[in-house]
Amino acid sequence: MNGRADTSAPRGPLRSAVVVNPAKQTDLDGLRRTVTEALAAAGWPEPSWYETTVEDPGRGQTKAAIEAGAQVVLVCGGDGTILSCVASLVGTDVPMAVLPSGTGNLLAANLGLSTDLTAGIQVAVEQGRRQIDVGAFGDQYFTVMAGMGFDAQLLDATSETTKARIGWPAYVMGALRHLRDRPMRVSIRIDGQAPVRRRARSVLVANVGRLQGGVPLLAEAEPDDGLLDVAVLTPRTLGHWASLGWAVLRRRRRVPGMEVFRGRRVQITSNRAQPRELDGDVIEPGRVLHVEIRPKALWLCVPRPAEEPDLSVDAEAAAERGEQLVEGARSE
């Protein structure tokens, strides 16, 4: 996995809670058995369970779990569920373990987390930890990216039914509907500096760099560097889109039709109301997208690195053995 795990977290049974989106589960009872049995095998007590609703997709349930004493929250759902749960975990010492389900799973894909349920539970039990940044948009948060323009349009144009049937390629179908839409006039102000003005199709503000389907848009974006990477996409024709997409997929350092900036506070202002999104969830359209970084605000469960041997213990044993050999030689 690309990242740094904190190995100082204590090991041992923890009180846990599971926040689950029942709409993403085909066998909720089977999920309960699998999670409960796996935690019991590790010596953990039975977890508390909280189901999300349309009215509250995770924020309230996560807050209730923390207030009830949960020491780790296992989130089982898609990107929308994770997004909602993060809002109550930001700024706390309670880590989130991701048990992905659904079609997006952007955070898991960007951090190299397994999409296998059993592996996700094992990661929680191992208690490897990593602190990552989050982006803040008012009282809402995102772990992957926020966007205005084309990216939100394609998300809005992609039906849940199609995503459930064919997975991430459904986003390509949504994208094709809006490739010829007119650009927006935007003013982009980063860290209070003079604004940059562009005719853009999309502006993405990223904490990490991969899009749906694992497309590597911003290779240098790191989730714990205290910075947001801003991608301004300015293609004007289908040929421009093709050149941009090819360069991104080929991981070219220079991508035609794309500029990249970095900063801690980003304000994007459009000449007209635009579709907007946070971590793949479409939010209310607006003319302004104002976001800022919250450094290392979220604890995440990640795989522990392989244990390194304690060389100091080996050195002491070798020294002791050497002394024994010397004493033995003297006595002969």
For residue range 219-231, list pLDDT tens digits in order. 899 999 999 999 9
Higher pLDDT, 109 or 235: 235
Least confident range of 37-46, 138-147, 172-181, 271-280 = 172-181
Distance set, CA 13 to CA 40, 125, 230, 261 (Å): 9, 8, 41, 44
Say which residues have a Cβ less than 8 Å from residue 256's Cβ, sequence separation at least 6: 240, 243, 244, 247
| Whether the Cβ atoms of residue 306 and residue 149 lie closer than 8 Å to each other | no
Helix (H) or strand (E) holding 99: strand 96-100
pLDDT band at 327 (very low <50, low <70, confident <90, very high): low
End-to-end Cα distance, the chain = 55
Tokens of 147: 């966007």
Q: Residue 289's pLDDT is what?
A: 98
Displacement of CA 305 from its chain's centroid (Å): 19
Q: Which long-range contacts (CB under 8 A, 24 or more apart) does 37-43 make?
A: 38/118, 38/121, 38/122, 38/125, 39/121, 39/125, 42/13, 42/125, 43/12, 43/13
% of residues, the chain, pLDDT over 70: 83
Q: Residue 167's pLDDT is what?
A: 66
Higher pLDDT, 277 or 312: 277
- In whole angstroms, give the CA distance from residue 251 to residue 198: 24
Range(s) of the chain covered by CATH 2.60.200.40: 142-295
Summarised one tens digit per residue, pLDDT across range 51-61 is 999 999 999 99
Mean pLDDT of the chain: 87
| Whether the Cβ atoms of residue 207 and residue 143 lie closer than 8 Å to each other | yes
Kindly calculate the radius of gyration of the chain based on its CA atoms and give it in whole angstroms: 23
In 112-232, which residue ranges form alpha helices assigned H by DSSP?
117-126, 150-156, 160-166, 169-176
Identify the CATH class of 16-128. Answer: alpha beta
Range(s) of the chain covered by CATH 3.40.50.10330: 16-128
| Whether the Cβ atoms of residue 38 and residue 121 lie closer than 8 Å to each other | yes
Which of 108-122, 161-175, 181-195 has the highest mean predicted lDDT (pLDDT)? 181-195
- In whole angstroms, give the CA distance from residue 28 to residue 188: 45
Summarised one tens digit per residue, pLDDT across range 138-154 is 999 999 999 999 999 98
Least confident range of 18-32, 108-122, 225-239, 258-272 = 108-122
The correct CATH number of 142-295 out of 3.40.109.10, 2.60.200.40, 2.60.120.260, 3.40.50.720 is 2.60.200.40
In 96-189, which residue ranges form alpha helices assigned H by DSSP?
106-111, 117-126, 150-156, 160-166, 169-176
pLDDT band at 4 (very low <50, low <70, confident <90, very high): low
Q: Residue 158's pLDDT is what?
A: 77
**For residue 168, pLDDT beyond 90:** no
Cβ neighbour number for residue 117 with a 10 Å cutoff: 17
| Whether the Cβ atoms of residue 290 and residue 283 lie closer than 8 Å to each other | no
Distance set, CA 141 to CA 59, 134, 146, 149, 309 (Å): 11, 6, 9, 19, 39
**For residue 325, pLDDT beyond 50:** no
Q: Residue 125's pLDDT is what?
A: 95
